[in-house]
Amino acid sequence: MEVKFSSSFLPKYHQLMDVHSFECEKKNPQTKIKAHSFFSKFHPLKKLILPSKQKVMTLNKQPSSKKRIPQGDAKQSSLSTFFKSIDDFICTFIDLPLHPSINPELVLSGNFAPVDELPPTVCEVVEGPLPSCLDGAYIRNGPNPQFIPRGPYHLFDGDGMLHMIKISQGKATFCSRYVKTYKYTVERKMGYPVFPSVFSSFNGLGASMARMWLCVSRVLTGQFNPMANGFGLANTSLALIGGRLFALGESDLPYAIKVPSNGDIITLGRHNFFSDEPIMSMSAHPKIDPNTGEAFALRYHVIPPFLTLFRINSNGKKQPDVPIFSMKNTSLIHDFALTKNYVIFPDTQIVMDLMEITRGRPPVRVDRAKVPRLAIIPRYAEDENELRWIEAPGFNMMHCFNAWEEDDGNKIVMVATNISSVEQALERLDLAELRLEKITICVKSNMFERHPLSTEVLDMGGINPAYVGKKNRYAYVGIVAPSMKLVGVVKVDLSLSKADSPCYNTVASRLYGQSCSGSEAFFVAREPDNPAAEEDDGYLVAYVHDENTQQSMFLVMDAKSPTLEIVSAVKLPGRVPTGFHGLFVKESDINKL
């Protein structure tokens, strides 16, 4: 057995390859796996170039030379090989040196390294019993590249993987599955990545032009069809809309997910909410009104209208589009706010500009000359006639935790994280410095005010979901370390803020411990059907991983406790990498999927 590759930074892939190498050897002792191609021999990232799991498995099943290959397939196969060689050539000889945000050795280090899928596996509850209100499933989405990148790779580029703990009567099962997107499926079949990325593919003029040509060539020759099938990763968040569960990423439509009784995760497919209009994408943070069950969402485009607002009714049927023609360019709008009467969305300095590609740069850039704005539009508006823009200097919103109306609707309050160093947001995400702020807007006078709520860098988290769009008191927000990992969670009392001074309102906190980092904490009410229950009567649930012991845990914290005391803990049978957003879905909703 001869395996000519090495990796110095991803122990998981060493383990993975060791297992598969062993399997290959067992089945066919004569098998020789040579990962180094002509290009990879000279590749600056040669330590990263590993044969994929699928490729290794394929080597065990070499087709007989007598086996007939359909001519069309053979042609596609030759084309695929040719295109792959071009791709390798670009990575090896044309790419500019990789800056930290697109250097896979850095981006995928530590607990950002991907894991393999894990089928449903029974877990050990090591502390606790698990509270009965947690009967259901906590699912966390995040990027988990199917293949080790051959060239530039950005944190946002990874294929969506769902990590789910399903709980029933105190027993827990854990499962990790990819969202089987069109991109995932095509690349799984090919055995290597073929879809370009807006964040990492445009690395210098030569590489940008070459990758553009390669992408167009692959589409024209039928290697894949993003116009018909999308190109999204579904790697950002999850949402329960109209009784269906979705994995979302803002470059594509959501993918519907099913959770069978054995605790597995099944991708049902791309879903357009029975839209009467063509729809290609949807933002990853829809806002769901807990009273009406309606979902509000946005989608942005590179051609006018640059932004579209739409609503999905409680039956899961999309309502007519509300195009926002007063958006003058494409702004990356990751999140927005919903109140009783309004939708409020930002127009930030992070814009999409396709001309940047002709300069050899990614199409996403920061427009420092632009003054950020907020739009206020009635939630049931049929067009933008009643939309009002308010200038919001210095406010480049990332996540909105909640918003509500005061003074009979004349004042809007938003609680959101702001990117303090927007210049760093794209190339040095770790220096973006997200801070929690309370925003007040006077609807009549267009007054806009910002009030800081924390000195720490905070982001990711949420509120009691029953309070979406209503005045609430508590937000649970992740403490972001310079490594971009969430090293703890704080409970912020929003009622303590004062307009005349920065007021830091943390009333409870928990650090996960040295070498530990966690996922976004999600609030689950102890008595969700009790209208008299206190807002913070419930639990925060999160995954936490210890990089020293390589053990991941599921933690249940008492949201009322000043230390966010851990009341239950489950030892997980697989590692949960650092990722994005999570969702708890109660058992009765899981059973109806």
Residues forming the annotated binding site? 285, 334, 399, 581
Q: Provide φ and ψ at 516, rounded to 5°.
A: -110, 145
Task: Using DSSP bridges, classify how beta strands 136-143 and 244-248 pair: parallel, antiparallel or unpaired.
Answer: unpaired
Q: Provide φ and ψ at 222, rounded to 5°.
A: 80, 20
Let me know: does 385 contact 333? Beta carbons within 8 Å.
no
Sequence-separated (6 or more) residues with CB below 8 Å from residue 233 = 143, 156, 157, 158, 159, 160, 179, 181, 183, 249, 251, 252
Peptide linkage before 305 cis (omega within 30 of 0): yes
Let me know: does 20 contact 119? Beta carbons within 8 Å.
no
Sequence-separated (6 or more) residues with CB below 8 Å from residue 127 = 566, 567, 568, 569
What the block records as the tokens of 255 is 């993918």
CA distance 218 to 221: 5
Which 8-state DSSP code applies to residue 159? P
Sequence-separated (6 or more) residues with CB below 8 Å from residue 355 = none
Let me know: does 228 contact 298? Beta carbons within 8 Å.
no
Sequence-separated (6 or more) residues with CB below 8 Å from residue 401 = 415, 416, 417, 436, 461, 462, 463, 475, 477
Binding site for Fe cation, residues?
285, 334, 399, 581
Nearest to 133 by CA among 568, 571, 520, 593: 568
Residue 578, CA atoms < 13 Å, CB-side half-sphere: 24
The C-alpha torsion from 308 through 314 and 315 to 317, rounded to 10°, is: -10
**Which DSSP string do the residues of 376-442 spell out, in sequence order?**
EEETT-SSSTT-EEEE-TT--EEEEEEEEEETTTTEEEEEEEEETTGGGTTT-GGGS-EEEEEEEEE
What the block records as the tokens of 217 is 């060539």
CA distance 486 to 493: 20
Helix (H), strand (E) at residue 543: strand 538-546
